[in-house]
Amino acid sequence: MSDPAALLGGGLRQPDARSCGASALVAARMLVDADYAAAITPAGFARDALATHRRVTRASGPGLQLPWPRALGTPPWAVARELSRLASPGSPATRYASRLALLRPATAFDRAGTAVRSGRAAALYVGSRWCPRHVVLALPAAPAVPHLRVYEPSSGRVVEVTRDAAAGHRLALAGWDRLWLVVTPSGG
């Protein structure tokens, strides 16, 4: 995919208040599967996001998974598992893991930056001072890009996020300012 921002910046929004993580996962699939991306419509995006949310929050299915109330959104371990399954032609799947970012947001931002500059997406959990509330997807970028370009599912736009904004708890992503968790390749 030559320009992830062009692909995802066209108003593909999360279909409900709980499906930001699932919407980020559908967006990540679009980045690695050109045929899927070409066929997606806003209605298809919404349908797939809701189906993904149901699938990744249930206790049954492939692999052992803790049950997670759908009302709380998508659990970070499910996002890591789903991102680990994605592969693009010529690029094998990579194991992802979630890491706490709240205490060292600049370091976590750097970890996400390493992932995107290597051509991989990364998920960011953002929230208030009390809890994580929203998931966005940092998009693959050129090695020289110092900021993150982030697909923000609540608006369906791609926005820029700087290291200073992450470190200073000024992210302003869907009204949330603090970086809580990052989901990145395990080696990154």
Mean pLDDT in each 10-residue stretch from start to end of the chain (188 residues)?
68 91 95 90 94 81 60 85 83 87 95 92 94 93 84 94 95 95 86
Q: What is the pLDDT of residue 2?
A: 52
> Torsion over CA of 155, 144, 126 and 88, rounded to 10 degrees?
70
The 178-185 sheet, strands edge to edge: 96-100, 178-185, 122-127, 132-138, 148-152, 157-161
Question: What pTM value is reported for the model?
Answer: 0.91
Q: What is the pLDDT of residue 180?
A: 95
User: Is CATH 3.90.70.10 correct for 4-185?
Assistant: yes
Q: What is the pLDDT of residue 165?
A: 96
Q: What is the pLDDT of residue 1?
A: 46
Q: What is the pLDDT of residue 152?
A: 95
